[in-house]
Copies of this chain bind each other. A is one copy, B any other.
């Protein structure tokens, strides 16, 4: 059994590597045609996909999955429509493969540039949402990479159905169907076997809860792009325009509190806290946000719930906000260094030098002035769409779009030059 599992996963990896060699040089027109063909088939085969999805839902109900998990699992008409729309969006994006931004001419006449090329084979390891299967396959195809998709065991029927559609579309367009493969077994040790295929797989991207991501990071022999969590802060500076601060804080906290770029910690400059804390606390409370404050907050608003040590740096992912009064930018920076997660940090200020210092010295994948933390998103920042957000610094820092699924090789055009 063990050896046959190794065989199954090993074969996927070898096939993916082989497919990647043909994907590398595939024309943009062919990739776009395949994306549109996937969209067509998804639309035509909707009933089949939803019937397979129904099997997962029923099994999930039997297993007693939470309502939230069942909800994430379900491929409703609206979810299928958004998958189709997503495919068309990726089709419309610029193909980065083959691009050379600039070339330098060396003193000996050599022309040297750096050409964007696919990474090769990418493994995606994710949890319940089966729409990731299509989204990831689309981005990998457009960037010329083969992909191995490993979704959650609870969505195996849905994912296998989506794999059939992907492979049919590839076959219809004359592309190696192994360009996108779903791991056909739910056995957990398949992940470990996948993470050991460093000979064939160039990059692993885990998406899901912190547990999954830590598991992948700790067991992978292949490079991993990941973010563990988003503990995002807003610092309301002494020179803040408070009329800008309020809508930004509300939007950052309330618009979608369960996602990684939502606000978890509010830092108030002591010069504005006395005036502003009562005001913003009232508005946030009316929005249903529970505030947890430091001792200096409690001096201003004695009825506030005191923060526990565990509230600092906590990814609440809920309508809860930790609030702290600080002496200035230096203390804010020290706090962010200690408790932040290098995801998103924003300052509200009208002061040019303070803004500049914040931008330069805060270490996070996105640093912002007078803007909602919710903008740290591939679509919002202009990447078109994203396959995830990296909070580690190697290769990509922040949202990863098509370009982050490629690398650059050196190209050198000579006329017979030799080295002196």
- What CA separation (Å) do A241 and B360 show in the bound complex? 52
Which chain A residues numbered 211 to 249 have a C-beta less than 8 Å away from chain B? 218, 221, 223, 241, 243-244, 247-248
* A376 interface contact, C-beta 8 A: yes
**Per-position binary interface string of chain A over residues 95-119, scored 1 when its CB falls under 8 Å from any chain B CB and 0 otherwise:** 0001000001010001010110101
In the complex, which residues of chain B have a beta carbon less than 8 angstroms from the beta carbon of A398? 114, 408-410
- What CA separation (Å) do A42 and B418 show in the bound complex? 34
A412 (CB) vs chain B CBs: closest residue = B368
Do the beta carbons of A409 and B366 come within 8 Å of each other? yes
In the complex, which residues of chain B have a beta carbon less than 8 angstroms from the beta carbon of A359? 115, 411
* A25 interface contact, C-beta 8 A: yes
- What CA separation (Å) do A252 and B414 show in the bound complex? 14
- What CA separation (Å) do A21 and B363 show in the bound complex? 9
* A382 interface contact, C-beta 8 A: yes
* A299 interface contact, C-beta 8 A: no
Do the beta carbons of A418 and B368 come within 8 Å of each other? no
Do the beta carbons of B360 and A98 come within 8 Å of each other? yes
Whole-angstrom distance from the CB of A405 to the nearest CB of chain B? 11
Number of this chain's copies in the assembly equals 2
A390 (CB) vs chain B CBs: closest residue = B407
Whole-angstrom distance from the CB of A382 to the nearest CB of chain B? 5
- What CA separation (Å) do A263 and B131 show in the bound complex? 48
* A381 interface contact, C-beta 8 A: yes
Do the beta carbons of A418 and B337 come within 8 Å of each other? no
A115 (CB) vs chain B CBs: closest residue = B359
A106 (CB) vs chain B CBs: closest residue = B382
* A189 interface contact, C-beta 8 A: no
Q: Assuming the A-B contacts A361-B25, A412-B371, are A407 and B419 also in contact, with contact meaning beta carbons closer than 8 angstroms in the complex?
A: no
Q: Assuming the A-B contacts A110-B371, A416-B244, are A409 and B397 also in contact, with contact meaning beta carbons closer than 8 angstroms in the complex?
A: yes
Q: Assuming the A-B contacts A409-B365, A419-B255, are A380 and B106 also in contact, with contact meaning beta carbons closer than 8 angstroms in the complex?
A: yes
Top 3 nearest A-B pairs by Cβ distance? Answer: A371-B414, A251-B418, A244-B416
Please give 10 more A-B residue pairs, beta carbons under 8 A apart, in addition to A371-B418, A395-B407: A203-B394, A248-B416, A251-B419, A366-B409, A368-B412, A371-B416, A394-B394, A394-B395, A397-B410, A398-B408
